[in-house]
């Protein structure tokens, strides 16, 4: 005789209401161990007479709807928490890469190249307001020159950071890479009174990667770390 495998699903054709009832009587804690099974079970309607509504059934249906909503909110919260933890880990990796730079040129390359890879972005630039290109101490990929007043025109005079979603990339900030950019995060760097205004620009082809209303603490933190590291390399006052 061939033994039935444990865990094998029973053939629905062999089940009957009596067998299911007997099983539940023998296992009174079945729904305690399997609460999800209750979601699809319908409670019997009560005959209350013409014109009388069964409030108990209505309350059960309402509670089921609330439970489904809570479960959905829980899954959304867990997903958001995982995404935030991943972003935090990536920001920490960016900070370590800044601290590992062995020259000022490597520091700038870390921002414009390594950040792009670590943060899974399409382009990262460091934009400096300057009258001429020759006024900059170095020239490297991802270092952009802006005309004086551009940063205030974009952010406003007192604003430090902005997120913009579903946009066309700005050629002033991203040059040839602007055709890829559909959302960006812009951070004003307050390095020193002795330096011109600087903007750190993150660009993504995902129109929803950066949007108004998203948390900005981690991006702001990365910008502040970069400010400190640049000051240290250039021996600048706060």
Q: What is the pLDDT of residue 80?
A: 64
pLDDT at residue 47 tops 80 = no
Contact predicate 198/227, CB 8 Å: no
Least confident of 46-60, 81-95, 180-194, 211-225: 46-60
Q: What is the pLDDT of residue 162?
A: 96
pLDDT at residue 74 tops 70 = yes
Q: Measure the CA angle with vertex 163, ends 222 and 83; round to 5°.
A: 65
| Domain regions of the chain by residue span | 77-234
What percent of the chain stands above pLDDT 90? 52
- Side-chain half-sphere of 173: how many Cα atoms within 13 Å? 28
Which tokens go with 201? 């620009």
Across 190-194, average pLDDT:
91
pLDDT at residue 1 tops 60 = no
Closest CA to 105 of 77, 139, 136: 139
Q: What is the pLDDT of residue 15?
A: 75
Q: Which CATH architecture has domain 77-234?
A: 2-Layer Sandwich (3.30)
Across 1-12, average pLDDT:
50
12 vs 183: CA distance, rounded Å: 53
pLDDT at residue 61 tops 60 = yes
Q: What is the pLDDT of residue 186?
A: 98
223 vs 238: CA distance, rounded Å: 15
pLDDT in tens, 114-162: 999 999 999 999 999 987 655 555 566 788 999 999 999 999 988 999 9
Least confident of 70-84, 142-156, 188-202: 70-84
Which tokens go with 106? 């490597």
107 vs 100: CA distance, rounded Å: 8
pLDDT at residue 2 tops 60 = no
35 vs 45: CA distance, rounded Å: 21
Contact predicate 207/164, CB 8 Å: no
196 vs 193: CA distance, rounded Å: 8
pLDDT at residue 44 tops 70 = no
Q: What is the pLDDT of residue 62?
A: 75
Q: What is the pLDDT of residue 40?
A: 65
Which tokens go with 137? 């101490």
The number of beta carbons lying within 10 Å of the beta carbon of residue 187 is 22
Q: What is the pLDDT of residue 156?
A: 92
The number of beta carbons lying within 10 Å of the beta carbon of residue 236 is 14
Token pair 């979601």 in the structure block, residue: 39
pLDDT in tens, 149-191: 999 999 998 899 999 999 999 999 999 999 999 999 999 999 9
pTM over cut 0.75: no
């Amino acid at each position: 005789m061939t033994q039935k495998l444990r865990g094998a699903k029973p053939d629905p054709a062999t089940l009957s209401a009596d067998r299911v009832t007997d099983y539940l009587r023998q296992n009174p804690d079945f729904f305690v161990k399997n609460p999800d099974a209750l979601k699809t079970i319908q409670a019997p309607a009560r005959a209350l007479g013409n014109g009388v509504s069964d409030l108990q059934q209505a309350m059960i249906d309402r509670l089921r709807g609330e439970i489904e909503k809570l479960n959905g909110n829980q899954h959304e919260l867990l997903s958001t928490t995982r995404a935030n933890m991943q972003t935090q880990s990536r920001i920490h990796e960016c900070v370590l890469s800044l601290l590992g730079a062995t020259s000022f040129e490597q520091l700038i390359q870390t921002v414009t190249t390594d950040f792009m890879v670590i943060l899974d972005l399409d382009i990262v630039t460091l934009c400096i307001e300057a009258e001429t290109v020759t006024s900059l101490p170095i020239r490297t990929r991802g270092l952009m020159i802006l005309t004086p007043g551009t940063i205030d025109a974009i952010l406003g005079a007192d604003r430090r950071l902005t997120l913009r979603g579903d946009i066309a990339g700005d050629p002033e900030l991203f040059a040839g890479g602007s055709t890829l950019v559909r959302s960006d995060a812009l951070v004003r760097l307050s390095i020193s009174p002795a330096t011109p205004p600087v903007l750190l620009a993150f660009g993504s082809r995902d129109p929803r990667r950066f949007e108004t209303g998203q948390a900005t603490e981690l991006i702001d933190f990365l910008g502040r770390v970069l400010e400190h590291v640049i000051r240290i390399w250039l021996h600048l006052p706060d």
